[in-house]
Amino acid sequence: MFCRIPFIVVFAACVSSAVSETLEFNLFAYGKLASSGLQLFYGDGQAYVGGAPSFVKESVNISLVMVEGGDKFVARANTTSPAWPTEPTMYVDLTEGAAISVGFTTDNKTLPDGATSVGFGLYGGWVFHKQDDADIEMKFLATPTNETGIYLVKWNAASTKTRDAIPISLRTQAPVVFGDK
């Protein structure tokens, strides 16, 4: 059976399939940003939207991959060149009261205390994180970098308003482009 149904529907539609389906998608930030629908990038192990800042050593245009039934987001280069063999897993830091950068790791041993790389999912194309028996949460923030239009993505475990931090949602939905194309 061959299924090509996007996002959440794939789970219900493909249960009879013996072959495991893989979802691959780009992520975009929506919120009160200078411009909405900014794509997520990898920059030196951290997540940025709007591009990766020029001060990072390694900047990668990524898509995320989720294997059916999985709860992890694995990053893959979304361009064919240059080659990027690393395929790190995204993590959020759940340390109570903190608002720490969303990162990527290839090895759980290097995960900061309080961080986790499991519990991710998509709900109608919106990224959520769910820790054990807790409710699903969508607590992403964007903080401006010193480069125009580029923001560092954080997870707001503090759930409080932080100065300079803009609440965002991460979605698989690409922004609609008006005008010539």
Residues that bind ligand NAG (CB under 6 A): 24-26, 51, 55, 61, 63, 72, 78-80, 89, 105, 108, 117-118, 146
Contact 173, 36 (CB under 8 A): no
Q: 105: exposed, middle or buried (C-beta count within 10 Å: 0-12, 13-18, 19+)?
A: middle
157 by DSSP, 3-state: which?
coil
Closest listed residue to residue 104, CA positions, set 23, 41, 159, 157: 41
153 by DSSP, 3-state: which?
strand
Give the residue ranges of DSSP H helices in the chain: 9-13
Closest listed residue to residue 38, CA positions, set 24, 53, 23: 53
